[in-house]
Amino acid sequence: MKKEWYVVNTVSGYEYKVKEKLEMMIVNSPDIQESIFRVIVPEQTIVEYKDGVKKEKIKKMFPGYVLVEMIMSDEVWFIVRNTQGVTGFIGSSGKGAKPIPLMPDEVDRILSNMGMSRMDLANDLAEGKKVKITDGPFKGMIGKVKSYDLENKKVELLLDLFGQETSVEVSLSEIENLK
């Protein structure tokens, strides 16, 4: 079982309430802490000019939806599904079927619009931490983090190529935490 991103459908206008309730469950239950990692209401800042005055406005990217990073299990599915304000999961056929997680490139696109990353950068990109390359010419290889540049969304990895440690630079969206 690995952590993946799922889309939760909410009652319109209840996105932040659902997020708050799920985050409270995470804090109050050690079992949930091991299964639900992040809850995000996708939003972006929009600049509007009204009467010549610049105003920044935060707008929901997907009204009525919340992204949840979690490890899917019967228990966690039941807890999230029965949280007040949740109407279901996107990607589920219903009748108790588990939903399909978002594809990594979909998650990367949404999170990058918010200035975030799919990886928990504080823990996943520590120097010496091993990561798996998921795309590009080195796909499938395991590398050790040498350094990272969050501003440009690049990571410098050390790979074992033909018995020699070689430094390569990849995009943040091309790696995932090694399970």
3-state class (DSSP) for residue 169:
strand
Please tell me the distance from the alpha carbon of residue 2 to that of residue 58, in angstroms, as a whole number: 32
Q: How far apart are CA 68 and CA 174, in angstroms?
A: 21
pLDDT tens-digit series, residues 73-85:
888 998 999 999 9
Whose tokens are 């219903």? That residue is 94
Confidence of residue 26 (pLDDT cuts 50, 70, 90): confident
| Residue carrying structure tokens 């990886």 | 119
pTM for the predicted model, two decimal places: 0.68
Nearest to 118 by CA among 58, 45, 37: 37
pLDDT digits (tens, 9 = 90+) for 127-159: 888 888 887 888 888 888 888 887 777 888 888
State the CATH architecture for 4-118. Answer: 2-Layer Sandwich (3.30)
Length of the chain measured in residues: 179
Comma-separated ranges of CATH 3.30.70.940 domains in the chain: 4-118
At the topology level of CATH, where does 122-177 sit? SH3 type barrels. (2.30.30)
